[in-house]
Chains A and B, each alone.
Chain A
């Protein structure tokens, strides 16, 4: 597709001089009808981005240089004081560290389970439709329902998994009140829902591999492993790298799952940066400070994202 577009561009600029058809010129820039209609067609999306992302991020940056008590929003300019505070408090570094553990643990686990599910679903087993319905249902089940079932299953009085764990000697009290268990459980419960995202991505890719490749490989006596290594893996690698990056971003930003299960507790045991930003803003009533955390979070993510793209360069393999 990209190739076709490129040739079209060249055609319309043949001989160094743009072919003058229609349109007009403003300050030496020729505006064609395509520019006007194309621009108009993407204007609504651009406005949405402007209202929901660009202005709020600008607003957050401005707010982060002020001290703003949420209860009586009076802005006092404090310069970079909020950022100095952010970098000085242990809560921030602790939350960053827990956020990285949460993100990495979740992403690795979801990728392993997600790819495995996709491979099983792609084998054409009997009852495949039931199996894939389960996977898709997990993806569409609202997080609040997943967490409510989790809270129920681990309830100290009526919870099935609480009882099983107690009988096995794994835990003796409420798991979401335990500093040892809260984080692993949040990761596991989240993965129940979000592994299906990796499965969707991978399965879409697997389905697009022509079956004749496998038939040819089988004819020449390749084993299942060799077929996976030489046909399947090279074709899903690009999509996999993209979906792993997206999962990493989403898990780093994840607020709802953790808040619903533990509100960041016990103490700060499951407080990641999004939770910290919320707690400082709405519980600590420090609106400027909360926005400073949000800005730092955004920058951390941007640096991490660029680093990932630089290291793996998935765009070489899929055009995204």
Chain B
């Protein structure tokens, strides 16, 4: 804890008889801040830097030894061909379908439930909302083991929809609570004035509530993306067939089975898979933060 070092120093000097001058304390604090930031940048950015630079380095150059940049003859785009090779192309398509499906399903279901919780005063409402929080305790492995045989029996094993509903369910506790809390911040009087002028309830919902939930919708979509794009456990167990599976379990299969696929290829796929995450992290970070803020209202 580099910022802490300055703070602890001050604890010694409590009582103020022996106090460092304000300037000195200020300088120590500033030093701690910048040191912390530097360590953060180094540790946070290094793995990505290593991935990206090796994604552009020829297989030969990677095997020859450690180098910091793909300079001169070692620069190559060959690794990106891996995404057109049979298996990886299938995994990418499957991952995209599952991720989009999960985002759509989470957005719609959490919007409806959030509206219901915020605007209808029904029995056992708060108890139900608390019950939803139990979802945080659901372990993918605990649920996926029984789901494996259940899906096998009813024919959902190796289907996209089977995985999409599983991933939507574990996204629910966060998504529904966020939507509920968010819609509570929209004044009901806006809807009421629409009803006064004769609009049916659903028009008020579509015309007044829906456009205003945009920040919450974006936050929910981001977290659904994070869960679906990242999911390994459910996909590995519920999509055992090679042609049905998604990128995370698919890539691990390649790690274990194929000697043709080198680290350069994996870093190239990794870069492509992380790229959307980087874009979202840069452009949509305020929505993620807002999501957590509203959630804890």
Contacts and interface: CB of A to CB of B under 8 A. Distances in A.
Contacts of A146: 47
B165 interface: yes
A137 B48 contact: yes
B206 interface: no
B123 interface: yes
A143 B232 contact: yes
B142 A297 contact: yes
A136 B288 contact: yes
A163 B143 contact: no
A251 B297 CA distance: 26
Mostly, the A contact residues are helix
Interface stretch (A46-54, A78-86, A173-181): A46-54
Contact of A44 (B8, B109, B230, B293): B109
A207 B270 contact: no
B37 A318 contact: no
Contacts of B113: 41-42, 44-45
A39 interface: yes
A295 B295 CA distance: 30
Interface stretch (B73-81, B128-136, B210-218): B128-136
Interface in A52-72: 52-53, 55-57, 59-60, 63
Contact of A52 (B43, B50, B136, B143): B143
A140 B281 contact: yes
A205 interface: yes
B102 to A, nearest CB: 12
Contacts of A204: 289-290, 292-293, 295-296
A244 interface: no
A264 interface: no
Interface of B is mostly: helix
A249 B142 CA distance: 13
A216 interface: no
A145 B44 CA distance: 14
A45 B134 CA distance: 13
Nearest to A280: B145
A55 B267 CA distance: 40
Nearest to A112: B1
Contacts of A142: 229-230, 247-248, 273-274, 277
Interface stretch (B28-36, B82-90, B192-200): B28-36
A310 interface: no
B165 A51 contact: yes
A305 B134 CA distance: 11
B18 interface: no
12 contacts: A44-B109, A48-B109, A137-B277, A140-B222, A140-B225, A140-B226, A142-B230, A144-B248, A145-B51, A150-B47, A158-B63, A160-B66
Interface of B: 1, 3-4, 6-8, 10-11, 25, 29, 33-34, 36-37, 40-41, 43-45, 47-48, 50-51, 54, 62-63, 65-66, 109-110, 112-113, 115-117, 120-123, 125-126, 128, 132-143, 145-147, 149-150, 165-166, 168-170, 172, 176, 181, 184, 222, 225-226, 229-230, 232-233, 236-237, 247-248, 251-252, 255, 263, 266-267, 270, 273-274, 277-278, 280-282, 285, 288-290, 292-293, 295-297
